[in-house]
Amino acid sequence: MEIVIVTGLSGAGKSRAINAFEDIGFFCVDNLPPKLIVKFAELCKHSIDDIDKVAIVVDARGGSFLSSIFDTLKELKDNDFSYKVLFLDAQDDVIVRRYKETRRRHHLYGQAGYSLEKCVELEREKMQSLREIADYIIDTSILSPAKLRERINQIFLVDTAKAMQVYCTSFGFKYGIPIESDLVFDVRCLKNPFYVDELKYQTGLDEPVREYVMREQTTKEFLQHLFDMIDFSLPLYNEEGKSQLIISIGCTGGRHRSVAITEALANHLKEKGYRVATEHRDITKGLKSKQQ
C-alpha cells in the first residue's frame, strides 16, 4: 500500500493538494491525528475495498503534533508500512497574504503574540525538523492550483520507488533563488542575449536565443562541466534514497541564458533515462513586446 503523509505550513496549500490526490485515485483523509495513522493504515490494509493508495493530511494544529508524528512514522516503519512525506512550503509574505485574503485566524494566534508574521515564523521554526526529513518539498508560492496539481501528478502518477524525479528550473537572481532548490547554478557568466536588440524580447525557448547562447565556446565548455557533475551526482542521490532533486539554474532576469541552459540540461537527463520536468519560473517577468 502506498501511503503519502501530506504536511507543511498552514496556508501552503494542503487542502488543494489533497484534492489533487483524490483526482488520481488516492483515498484521502484530511487532518487525521498522527496517533491514529497506524490504526487507519491497518484498516485500509485489511479493507475489502482494495485501498492501495492513501494520502493523509496532518498539520501542526495539535499541541503535541511534532512528538507524535515522529513516533507515528517510526511505528509505520516498524509495522512494514511504506510511506512518503510531502511537505508543502511557501514564502512567509505569501502565507501572510493568503491568510489576510481569506480572513482566517492562524492556529498559533495568541501563542506567538498577535502578529500574523510572528505566527508564520513560529510555525516555520516548529516544522523545520519535519521539513528536513520530507521526501518531497513543493514551494507553492507562485504555483496556481493547476500547477500544484500538475506537480503532484508528475510525482505520484508513477511508481516513485523506481526512479528519482528531477526538476530543472530556470529563474532570475533579481527575483530570488527558489527556496526548494537542492542544487543551484549561476549562468550569469555566459554572454547575455538581452543586449542584442533582436533577441531582447525573445526568451531561451526561441531558437535565435538558444543558438546565440549555445554557439559560444564558453557555453559548450560550461555545459560539459555541468553535465559531468550532474551525471556523477544523480546516481549518488538516487542511491541515498532521495525521491526528488530540484536543480535551479539562474541568470539575471530568468528569461534568456538560464532558460536555454535549463532546456539543454533537461534534454540531456531525459536521454539518460531520468524522469525530468522543467519549469521556467521567471520567463514572463518584465517581458515587454516591441510594440509596448
Q: What is the per-residue pLDDT across 21-38, written as a single tens digit (0 to 9) for each?
A: 998 889 999 988 888 999
Residue in the block written with cell 511534532: 66
Collect all residues with Cβ–Cβ distance below 8 Å to 167 and sequence separation of at least 6.
244, 245, 246, 247, 276, 277, 278, 279
pLDDT exceeds 70 at position 292? no
How many C-alpha atoms does 266 have within 13 Å on its Cβ side? 21
pLDDT exceeds 60 at position 3? yes
pLDDT exceeds 90 at position 100? no
Cell of 214: 549555445
Residue 204's pLDDT is 96
Structure confidence at residue 52 as a pLDDT band (50, 70, 90): confident
Q: Are residues 86 and 11 in the same domain?
A: yes
Displacement of CA 41 from its chain's centroid (Å):
26
Q: Report helix angle 207-214 to 257-271, nearest 10.
A: 80
Domain boundary among 122, 139, 156: 156
Residue in the block written with cell 508500512: 81
What's the rounded mean pLDDT across residues 211-224? 96
- Position 251 in a domain: yes
Q: What is the per-residue pLDDT across 145-193, written as a single tens digit (0 to 9) for each?
A: 888 988 898 888 765 444 578 999 999 999 999 998 999 999 999 999 9
Please give the single-letter amino acid code of residue 44: C
pLDDT exceeds 80 at position 265? yes
- Position 291 in a domain: no
Q: Are residues 175 and 72 in the same domain?
A: no
Q: Are residues 23 and 134 in the same domain?
A: yes
* pLDDT, the chain, mean: 89
Domain count along the chain: 2
pLDDT top residue among 121 and 290: 121
Residue 161's pLDDT is 43
d(CA 18, CA 23): 9
- CA end-to-end span of the chain, whole Å? 55
Taking CA atoms, 3 is separated from 40, 42, 210, 248, in Å, by 11, 11, 42, 29
d(CA 35, CA 65): 9
- Position 288 in a domain: no
Domain boundary among 102, 122, 156: 156
Going by the DSSP 8-state scheme, the letter that residue 36 receives in this structure is: G
Collect all residues with Cβ–Cβ distance below 8 Å to 207 and sequence separation of at least 6.
none
If phi over 0 gives left and psi between -120 and 50 gives alpha, with beta otherwise, what is residue 230?
alpha
Q: Does this model's pTM top 0.75?
A: no
Q: Are residues 137 and 181 in the same domain?
A: no
Q: Are residues 152 and 18 in the same domain?
A: yes
Domain boundary among 129, 156, 183: 156
Residue in the block written with cell 540540461: 265
If phi over 0 gives left and psi between -120 and 50 gives alpha, with beta otherwise, what is residue 80?
left
The range of the structural domain enclosing residue 251 comes to 165-280
- Position 292 in a domain: no
- Maximum alpha-carbon separation in the chain: 66
Residue 182's pLDDT is 94
- Position 91 in a domain: yes
Task: Taking the CA atoms of 154, 157, 158 and 160 in sequence, report the sign of the dihedral they define.
Answer: positive
